[in-house]
Amino acid sequence: MTLEVKVAFLPPLFMFVLSLGSESHTLSERFRSPAIRVVSNETTKKAPDVAAEVGRYEDVAKRIIELAVFGAAQNRSYRRLADFTDTIGNRVSGSQNLEMAIKYMYNAMKQDGLDVHLEPVKIPHWVRGKESAEMIKPRTKSLAMLGLGSSVGTPPEGVEAEVLVVQSFEELKRRASEATGRIVVFNQPFTNYPETVAYRGFGASEAAKVGAVATLIRSVTPFSINSPHTGWQIYEEGVKRIPTACITVEDAELMWRLAQNKQKIVVRLIMGAQTLPDADSFNTVAEIRGWQHPEQVVLLSGHLDSWDVGQGAMDDGGGAMISWEALSLIKDLGLRPRRTLRAVLWTGEEQGGVGGQQYFNLHKENISNFDLVMESDLGTFTPMGLQFLGSDAARKVMEEVIKLLAPINVTKLETDAEGTDIFLWMQAGVPGASLHVADSRYFWFHHSEGDTMTVQDPHDMDLCSALWAVVAYVVADLEDMLPRRP
């Protein structure tokens, strides 16, 4: 990655994103040398034994799929999500809406007959306030914008300055002498999320190092209809903090063309953003206790918080709802696995996975009892497969488990699971899984006003719920935990 930063202070979100963008230090490699050594006390079974044991769950898997996709639970996860998002709206960290959302889900899952509790955490509380951006030279034009999370505000009268447009960090360094006193506009092309999000994450500090007074970042999206996309950003220690916001692809490209034509560009930016003291919040936890090994856990999850735009239906209301739905399906069928099934609806994920990090710190002393950690946070579109990170022996087990999804044509087991909130567990050697969906449209709506229920499809959510429930239940009910590295 081209950005030169110290990563010691980065939260799990940015450590996770950096891991995705690094070819030389992949999470798979770190899994083979985990930061916290986890010793397996399980005996690895031979392949025929594994296939036979998992194969015995074929009828159970069909029952789960039938209930979720064609039976009484058809469209239920969609209806739950619609009621939740229409009632609560978006749910940014520290907001009253997020606390309403936690209470809503706590009560809903209690009424569903699950064992529910809340685990307190502290989360960031940033508010954007009133904000606007306007190009005033070479012509007047309002710029659609969204302040970036954790940004400082401007003075009440705003910041008015000439613009320097660059397309990369390298170009900024080459033109450092031109940046003093200017608003730097980053017009970086979208390549992939891990690479491109670095500009949103670190652009303000990189520009401040060369004397800029503010930054406007081209939204991290491959498609735009003049839609700004917000997100979290991090100030580097020891570097002046300057206001930073995202603008649309269209406006970033407009200013790039004007700059190429040697036209002077002046922008006025007004941001009322401020960071308040950390707020009290909760991770919301629902369980079906295991009948034989209740202390051992298969964890499935999504995050309950969102940004303060749209409804947070896709990111990540859908992931939270299918995690609840998976437990509902299992409960409705009267099933109870050997191990505990635990759905965790994370708080503060968008601010760097702070709820997930505090959960890890609280429970890592019992890490040997965590069998599998699962997270859905890339949408609940049509499921394509399951991403998995674990030992070779565990992979052989999961290859058999995923075959049980043949009735819905989702039998592909992929590599390198993803998830900000489960990253630390996987880094420590716990097997991890994430849902792979047809996500080509995900970043069209990501962190924007477009993230609403209109993006969601009831049938897709049924399929995702079925996959989530089958995998979680079968792994939790196998005779042995998934084998780990010796």
- Residues paired with residue 385 on neighbouring β-strands, in sequence order: 436
Residue pair 263/231 in contact by the 8 Å Cβ criterion: no
- Give the Cα separation of 340 and 188 in Å (integer): 46
One-letter amino acid at 132 equals: S
- Give the Cα separation of 372 and 432 in Å (integer): 6
State the burial class of residue 486 (Cβ atoms within 10 Å of its Cβ: 0-12, 13-18, 19+): exposed
214-218: strand order across its sheet: 141-143, 131-137, 266-271, 159-166, 183-186, 214-218, 244-247, 145-147
Rg (CA), the chain: 23
Nearest to 302 by CA among 284, 279, 280, 288: 284
Phi, psi angles (nearest 5°) of residue 450: -80, -10
Q: Give, rounded to a whole angstrom, the gap between the first and last alpha carbons of the chain.
A: 33
Residues 6+ apart with CB under 8 A from 111: none
One-letter amino acid at 449 equals: E
Residues 6+ apart with CB under 8 A from 446: 220, 221, 229, 314, 315
State the burial class of residue 39 (Cβ atoms within 10 Å of its Cβ: 0-12, 13-18, 19+): exposed
Map residue 38 onto helix, strand or coil: coil
Q: Which residue has the tokens 């397996």?
A: 40
β-strand pairing of 370-375 with 293-303? parallel
Q: Which of 195, 349, 350, 418 is catalytic?
A: 349
247 DSSP assignment: E
Query: Is 53 in the active site?
Result: no
Count CA atoms closer than 13 A to 326's CA, side-chain side. Answer: 36
Active site residues: 349
